[in-house]
């Protein structure tokens, strides 16, 4: 029973230094598995963001069941960035 996942563009949709409102997963293409990378309430530090970018990670993932939390994250961070 695989849970549905939703792809997020790391560079466009994620904000370095932001607090996550959802669990963040990475996709492992060799075995087609998703691994939990950061739990909700953790911070996506600038160092972590840059490390992912450096390794060519373009997309990160969340469980579709948490998509409303992702939308709230987007709204919160868009407001903070434009302030």
Q: What is the DSSP string of 12-69?
A: HH--TTEEPSS-EEEEETTTTEEEEEE-TTSEE-HHHHHHHHHTT--EEEEEGGGHHH
Q: Is the pLDDT of residue 83 over 70?
A: no
pTM given for the model: 0.88
* 78 against 62, higher pLDDT: 62
- What is the model's pLDDT at position 81? 59
- How many residues make up the chain in this entry? 83
Residues 44/78, Cβ–Cβ less than 8 Å: no
Helix or strand run (H / E) with residue 78: helix 67-82
List pLDDT tens digits, range 16-66: 999 999 999 999 999 999 999 999 999 999 999 999 999 999 999 999 999
């Amino acid at each position: 029973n695989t849970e549905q996942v939703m792809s997020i563009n790391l560079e466009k949709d994620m904000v370095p230094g932001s607090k996550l409102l959802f669990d963040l997963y990475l996709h492992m293409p060799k075995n087609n598995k998703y691994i939990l990378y950061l739990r909700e309430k953790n911070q996506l530090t600038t160092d972590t963001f840059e490390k992912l970018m450096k390794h060519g990670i373009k997309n990160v993932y969340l469980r579709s069941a948490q998509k409303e939390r992702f939308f709230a994250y987007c709204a919160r961070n868009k407001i903070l960035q434009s302030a």
